[in-house]
Amino acid sequence: MIAEISDQQRQRAYNLIWNTAEDYGFVPDFKFYTEDGQADIYWNSIIGLARKYYDYDRLKKIFRGLEQEEDADLYESLIWLGLENALAAKEAPSRPVLMRLRREYAEAYLERWGREYAEDDRFWEYLAKAHYRRILGLPEEISPYDRALLDELEFSPALDTEELISRIRSLLEKWFHLRAEERSREHQTWSLPFLKHGEHRKRGKSKLRPFGIGLAEHPHASDGGDELPQDPMNRRTTLTEAELRAFMAEKYGRSVYRDKETAELEKELCTGNHQSCHLHITRGEAAAAHIRNGFEALQKEKEAAQIAHNRTVWHAHEAENRTAIARLTERIRNSVLLYLRPCDVRADAGKLEGGRVWRALRLDDGTVFRREENGSAGDVSVDILLDASTSQRGRLESISGQAYCIAEALTRCRIPCRVMSFCSMTGYTVLRIFRDYNETDQNGKIFEYVANGCNRDGLAVRTAHRLISRSACEHRMLILLSDVKPQDIVRIYDREDDSFIPYEKETGIRDTAFEVRKARADGIAVICVFTGTDEDLPAAKTVYGRDFARIRSADQLADTVGLLIQNQIRNL
């Protein structure tokens, strides 16, 4: 648990910062504490020195500019590690005790987190270990890529403010493809929590978060409010459009469309609320790529581990999962027979079609008769769309298992089924196709479901609608597995106010609901398997009406999803 910080220790942190800053005329923003809630002498001294030696307002604007990024905590922590390197050296001649405190902190850090590198080290911990090993004269034992990054990160004490800002920008652009903007406080409110690296920031911000061997108090924490609006024309990366598309292919897989086809699809779909967005539709097939640094390598390793975990969890409960599949299969099959209207089909017995008799004589084709059959499963197609935003982390194995069971049941019923996931990053909405309608032996690919980035639900539903419209089946269905928590960095232009508003909360929910209703108006039955928390149930009701359900166990899957599908088939 995070320690409670007393007013006495908070005041002590202020005094430490003021003392090294040699200035008592400001209210400190960042503050550091030990794990038991005591003001940390070394790091609060570093914070004060940042004000003493640099134009701190410039640094604050850089931190604010990064706050909207998915991994804002990582970038901010790296910058502080670089500042520590420069400031300790700057102050050492006049305050020799600081170097002793620095070595003591390095010893304590390696004692706390281990002197050797561990498989579960977060990227910041990995670099911090190498940094503190350098301080103690120990070999870093890291890859050449990460040694080069660490070399650039450990800022020189000779840098002035302008040179420091330039180095920070250069580092973020080169290694993380980010452009560091300087933002003023009057243009920003805060709601993204400062969590562990890799966790999504969709809930309220906590003032305290783990840092090093203690705790950091974030300067702009709050329990609510709106996120910083982002101009959709303000590129958040230094890559050109062609380079960014290549990067998306490296990260998610080659596009299934040629550039011209993608451009035409974007021209059709990326309009209105999504006019500044792009699409990347892929089957996850690896593109020519190279790992630029340890951060990217670690992300790939984590994704591979998650895929293995998805399969392991499913097999650990295989008996109950197989039972759920069998029950769901039977329920879907019965629904098709009961509710799909009778239709004429060609057969080898029934009412003779005179115009086809020649086929029996010349082509040995016996299907020259027609007969009426009850509902035909072959006249129904189903698309399953999985929300793959970072907010789904912690339940990926459950969602992939549910999707597999639904797809397997549909396959057994001979109902064409396609399974995709969606997420958004750097203005791109990414749809990953795991299996297509005719790929009945590819359900296992669903376990490759992992989470990345944000989610622009409205554009994902609009794109799925467009793809589903190509289905040759008369009856079409879309099943979403989602927490119904739309959030993306590209804003929506409000023509009435001539301003941009964040794509989140009510705005994102209304947009998603609109796209769901458009799909339904086009004859597509849309239902949702809700994967979120109680606080987001009202959003699910707004978007999907009665056509959503929540599954808490494999036992519920057959009855709950079966009932949803049965109700939709009844209305086809």
Query: 518-554, pLDDT tens digit by residue?
Result: 999 899 999 999 998 899 999 999 999 989 988 877 6
Q: Is residue 237 part of a domain?
A: no
Instruction: Looking at the structure, tell me whether residues 385 and 367 fall in a common domain.
Output: no
* 164-185 b/e (C-beta count within 10 Å ≥ 16 → b): bbebbbebbeebbbbebeebee
Distance CA 160, CA 92 (A): 17
Give CA–CA dist 512/504, Å, rounded: 10
**Over residues 553-571, mean pLDDT:** 79
Instruction: Give the full edge-to-edge strand order of the sheet including 417-425.
Output: 278-282, 428-435, 417-425, 380-387, 475-482, 524-530, 548-550
Residue type, 521: A
C-beta contacts of 311-320 below 8 A and 24+ residues apart: 311/447, 312/397, 313/397, 313/398, 313/401, 314/397, 314/400, 314/401, 314/404, 314/447, 317/401, 317/554, 320/554, 320/555
Higher pLDDT, 185 or 388: 388
Q: How many domains does the chain have?
A: 3
pLDDT over threshold 50, residue 224: no
> Where is average pLDDT lowest: 47-61, 133-147, 283-297, 298-312?
283-297
Six-digit token string for 333: 């099959």
Model confidence, pTM: 0.63
Question: b/e string for 40-67 if b means 16 or more Cβ within 10 A?
Answer: bbbbbbbbbbbbebbebeebbbbbbbbb
**398 and 488 fall within a common domain:** yes
Q: Are 67 and 202 part of one and the same domain? A: yes
Per-residue pLDDT reduced to its tens digit, 470-496: 888 888 999 999 999 999 988 888 777
For residue 399, the model assigns a pLDDT of: 95
Q: What are phi and psi of 471, to 5 degrees?
A: -65, 140
| Beta pairing class for 524-530 and 369-373 | unpaired
Q: Which of 178-182, 224-228, 445-449 has the lowest mean pLDDT?
A: 224-228
**If you average pLDDT over residues 33-62, what whole number do you get?**
91
CB atoms within 10 A of CB 353: 13
Q: Are residues 65 and 130 in the same domain?
A: yes
Contact 518, 546 (CB under 8 A): no
Domain stops at, among 182, 217, 252 = 217
Buried/exposed 205-221: b ≥16 CB within 10 Å, e otherwise: bebbbbbbbbbbbbbbb
Write phi, then psi, for 82 (nearest 5 degrees).
-65, -40
Q: How confident is the model at residue 3 (pLDDT cuts 50, 70, 90)?
A: low
Q: What mean pLDDT comes out for the span 158-167?
A: 94
Residue 234 belongs to a domain: no
- The chain-wide mean pLDDT, for the chain, equals 82
User: In percent, how much of the chain has pLDDT > 70?
Assistant: 81
Nearest to 336 by CA among 374, 383, 384: 374
Asked if residue 51 belongs to a domain, the reply is: yes
**Residue 357: domain span:** 342-373
Residue 232 lies in a domain: no
What does the pLDDT read at residue 358? Answer: 66
If you average pLDDT over each of 66-75, 210-219, 223-232, 515-524, which comes out highest? 515-524
Is 387 found in the same domain as 364?
A: no
pLDDT at 192: 26
Whether 489 and 512 map to the same domain: the answer is: yes
Final residue belonging to a domain, choices 217, 232, 265: 217
110 and 164 co-located in one domain: yes
- 148, 183, 217 — which closes off a domain? 217
| Whether residues 295 and 265 fall in one domain | yes
> 258-261: long-range contacts (C-beta < 8 A, 24 or more apart)?
none
